[in-house]
Amino acid sequence: MRLFEIHDQAWFPQFLRDEFVDGLQMILDVTNTYQPIAKLLRKRLKESGAERVLDLCSGAGGPWLSLVRHFEISGARAPEVFLTDKYPGTRELRDFESPATSRIHFLRHSVDATQIPEHLHGFRTLFSSFHHLNPNEARGLLQDSVSRRQGIGIFEAPARRTSTLLSLLFIPIAAWLFVPFRRPFRWSRLLWTYLIPVTPFVLFFDGLISCLRAYSPAELQEMTKGLRRADTDGRSERSREDFCQSRLRT
């Protein structure tokens, strides 16, 4: 369903978008949503030989801080991660105090996932953001990944399922409960969570729309059919699916 999410809109103020992505990051951190895919992602990176990751639609960083820690705890060398977003946040990675941040870099300029500059390369990851792309844009991103021989991992928490939709009712509650414990402390969080509850509302509304917009596993598989890459001699051939495609079930 091609509906719109509030935080995606150009008219939505950047300072409120920062509050939204901060709240979303907090929920991801508390629930450890993407921990189940850490082993799979590490395996795919090793298979592809990728030492660099280009994370698209990163928001406030997504799960990469915890994923990098997982790599290091497992004895594997963590990839160098470049976080990108169409509307890059105005806050610095210095908010996080962790050795893991030495492997993670925020790109301050806008990067549109549908128009990735030629100089940006690496294994591509998208966390709960692929549904932001309409079918043509989504297939275009997959085709671009194949054409440029860049691996891609797609991990989606939203889903068009009753259990997932019901779980959205807990998002505003989680925001109200955990905001006072979020570090570093900011008065703005209290303002936009309690006094003027924009953050809980947008988290709930956009979460609902995300679920309604989410692609099913079958739809994702259909998108990969017929993807082609150009050979150096000008011929084209069917891709051998040298990219990773996964769906996280919540």
DSSP assignment string, 10-54: TTS-HHHHHHHHHHHHHHHHHHTTTGGGHHHHHHHHHHHT--EEE
What per-residue confidence (pLDDT) applies to 240?
A: 35
The pTM is what? 0.83
Q: Alpha-carbon distance 167 to 212, whole Å? A: 14
Look at residue 188 and give its three-state secondary structure. Answer: helix
CA atoms within 13 A on the CB side of 10: 1
What per-residue confidence (pLDDT) applies to 248?
A: 39
What per-residue confidence (pLDDT) applies to 6?
A: 93
Of the chain, the end-to-end C-alpha distance in Å amounts to: 20
Q: Residues 230, 51: contact at Cβ < 8 Å?
A: no
Is 233 exposed, middle or buried, given 0-12, 13-18 or 19+ CB atoms closer than 10 A? exposed
Q: Residues 106, 83: contact at Cβ < 8 Å?
A: yes
What per-residue confidence (pLDDT) applies to 60?
A: 73
Mean pLDDT (10-residue bins), the chain, 250 residues: 83 91 87 88 92 91 86 88 87 54 87 95 95 93 94 92 92 92 88 96 95 90 79 35 38
CA distances 38 to 29, 68, 72, 99, 135, Å, are: 14, 9, 11, 18, 27
The DSSP secondary-structure symbol of 125 reads E
Place of tokens 């294994």: 123
The DSSP secondary-structure symbol of 62 reads T
**Planar angle of CA 182, 188, 194, nearest 5 degrees:** 80
H or E element: which one contains 159? none
What per-residue confidence (pLDDT) applies to 245?
A: 41
Largest Cα–Cα distance in the chain?
63
Q: Residues 122, 205: contact at Cβ < 8 Å?
A: no
Q: Which of 79, 105, 81, 82 is nearest to 92 (CA)?
A: 105
What per-residue confidence (pLDDT) applies to 225?
A: 85
